[in-house]
Structure 1
Amino acid sequence: MDVKSAGILFPGQGAQGVGMGRWLCETYTIAKDLFAEAGEVLGYDLADLCQNGPPEKLDATEFCQPALFTVGVAAARVLASEHPERIDNISATAGLSLGEYTAVCFAGGLEFADGLKLVQRRGEAMQSASDAVRSGMASVIGMDLEKLQELCDEVRQGDEVLRPANLLCPGNIAVSGHLTAIERLQPAAVAAGAMKVVPLSVAGAFHTSLMAPAVELLEQALTEIPLRDTRIPVYSNVDAAPHQSADEIRQLLSRQVTQPVMWEASIRRMIADGIEGFLEAGTGRVLRGTLKRIQRKIPTDGFGDQ
């Protein structure tokens, strides 16, 4: 990308797939070594899980989060070591949900091993909260936020939780809540004009109050694991604003699991602040897809799975 100032983006849960990281490990020793280090930290063979599955295990939150974190860091380290010209102009970073931890690591706020332990504990806490109630997420395609919020309010019953949770881009918003409410929302959304409603491969109702039981465990982990001020701004999912203070980032990460992901607002803020192009590092093309819906002409690139 021939731009003066670029942002690097890291995907979150839902981008995973069996085979991720294989090309990086087969092509670059630095990636293979990082996966070996991850296996020692986690106590299981992460490279084998990423490359061979089984998919139901890789999709489980407690395994998926460390896996995506490691693939993202591996891609960034390969770029820094083997293709520095592709990231010399990186001046800001962001990540979608779990990807925000990868962004903080890239920006120098976390050591890899510390970040891996943190996301492992985050994944375990969120999996435990998810196991306590039948809940999940679904992408609603082709509906604006105001109408979707109205529909959530209409179909929700009793003390059910249902809310827009991932505000990805125009026409693509993920809702999160009790499965019973999501099941009622699906036909209602299509009848109201949505193109389709797609269930997501996540364990529970992330970014809602149903994740509250995970917050205390996450806050404890964030207190115990060292965070530093970052060398470049990290745009937070919570407020779509840039942050470099370790104390601010720690507080925002603890709030993130129960708050909506302000992804579209984050990208628009980054562009307003001078970012002229974006690089997606890790697995998949989900984030580049959202970028084209937010700002069609913005230059994009990717590095990770081939």
Structure 2
Amino acid sequence: MTIAFIFPGQGSQAPGMGKALHDAFGAAREVFQEVDEALGEKLSKLIFEGPADELTLTTNTQPALMAVSLAAMRALEREFGVAPSKAAFVAGHSLGEYSALASVGALTVSDAAKLLRTRGDAMQAAVPVGAGAMAALIGKVDVDVAEEIAKEGSAAGVVVVANDNNAGNVVISGDKAGVDAALAAAKAKGVRAIPLAVSAPFHSPLMQPAADVMAGALAAAEIATLAVPLVANVTAQPVHEPSVIRRLLVEQVTGRVRWRESVEWMAQGGGVTRFVEVGAGKQLAGMVKRNAPDAEALSLNEPADLEAFAKTV
């Protein structure tokens, strides 16, 4: 049995996430306290109590999801003896890469929280609210079809494939004119397209100002050598050198999240038979089942999930 720990990104958040972990495990409480102290505010109160619209703000969502993932990971290690080194690989969806890096000691929880606050603020500031858009292409669509749709939309503005999640779930991103034109192109091809309620056009060239901010922030951050390789979003390949990771985290702000390819590589090239989503929600486990149907996929959200998983490792 070869394990990969995977960490969720934006969209998995919900008020109350991580509260049961906080209440059950001292190790989890430590993580929430570290994040609160790093940011100089009680983010944990917002995580546990909401309101949802404030938690969904990018500046809050990014460190909040990391906090929940790391609380679960630390509890798994301290309370149940399952170390991150049990995994052959780690990976995270977009902001989840920071959770993955912190889980294997490349970043401290405090530094991950600060970097994600900076990342969230920079992404929100990069494009005026309402100027950008994202949409999910659902159903009979793969990345090749999505690229055709984006190319047609690009005649009217900026639009690119942002997230290749799995066949039947590809996200496009860009300015409003480009995405609107792509939506029309999708309809003409019989592809279902759903505009997403997001505050900025993530993983598109319009995020270059945010990438520039993160280049400076990451240059000043300490990144240790990874205990377990990270399968990176922008390459769908394993990396462990801090200098390479630093560069890829900057490229990730404007680059495509190659999640389908990452999971396929881990299952086929890396021999992973068990994908373990750590933190909030179950979105990644669902994607794994579509990308690697022969592998096991499970989510660790609650104390009972951690206990049950630990008995099988």
Q: Deviations over 1:109-157 (max 9, x none)?
A: 1111111111111111111113366113221111122222212222334
- Judged with a 3 Å threshold, the aligned counterparts in structure 2 of structure 1 residues 215 and 91 are, in CA distance, closer, same or farther, namely same
Counterparts of 1:72-221 in structure 2, within 5 Å, are 72-85=69-82, 89-131=86-128, 134-142=131-139, 143-158=141-156, 160-194=157-191, 196-221=192-217
Matched, 1:44 2:69: no
Cα distance, 1:117–1:86 mapped onto 2, change above 3 Å? closer
- The normalised TM-score by structure 1 is 0.93
CA distance in 2, matches of 1:201, 1:13: 12
Comparing 185-194 with 39-48, greater Cα deviation is found at 185-194
Q: Which runs of 4+ in 1 moved over 6 A?
A: none
Aligned mate of 1:57, from 44, 54, 60: 54
Counterpart of 2:310 in structure 1 is none
Residue 24 (structure 1) aligns with: 21
Contact 2:289 2:296 in 1 (8 A): no
User: How far did 1:183 drift?
Assistant: 3.1
Cα shift readout 1:31-56 (whole Å, capped 9, x = no counterpart):
22321221121122111111221222
Q: CA 1:242–1:218 in 2, change beyond 3 Å: closer, same or farther?
A: same
Taking a change above 3 Å as real, the CA distance of residues 134 and 125 of structure 1, as seen in their structure-2 partners, is same
Give the partner amino acid of 1:59. T
Q: Give the conservation status (yes or no) of the 8 Å contact 1:65–1:119.
A: yes
Return the match for 1:299 from 296, 301, 305.
Answer: 296
Equivalent residue, structure 2, for 1:229: 225
Letter in 1 for 2:227: R
| Equivalent position of 1:269 in the other structure | 265
8 Å CA contact 2:153–2:182 kept in 1: the answer is yes
Note the aligned Cα RMSD (angstroms): 1.8
CA distance in 1, matches of 2:153, 2:158: 10
C-alpha distance in structure 1 between counterparts of 2:216 and 2:28, whole Å: 30
Please state whether the residue corresponding to 1:247 is helix, strand or coil. helix
Identical positions, percent: 35
Please list the CA deviations of residues 213-272 of structure 1 after superposition, one character each: whole Å capped at 9, or x if unmatched. 111210111011111110110011011111111111001101110111111111111122
Alpha-carbon distance in structure 2 between the residues aligned to 1:86 and 1:252: 26
- The 10-residue stretch of structure 1 (21-30 or 116-125) with the greater mean CA deviation from structure 2: 21-30
TM-score (norm 2): 0.91
Q: 1:38 to 1:85 in 2, by over 3 A?
A: closer
Match of 2:307 in 1: none
Cα distance in 2 between the residues matched to 1:115 and 1:63: 13
Amino acid at match of 1:129: A
What is the deviation of 1:81? 1.4
For structure 1, which segment, 79-88 or 219-228, has the greater mean C-alpha deviation from structure 2 after superposition? 79-88
Structure 2, unmatched stretches of 5+, are 304-313
SS at match of 1:257: helix
**Is 1:254 the equivalent of 2:250?**
yes
1:80 touches 1:87 (CA, 8 Å); kept in 2?
Answer: yes
Counterpart Cα distance in 2 of 1:277 and 1:74? 21
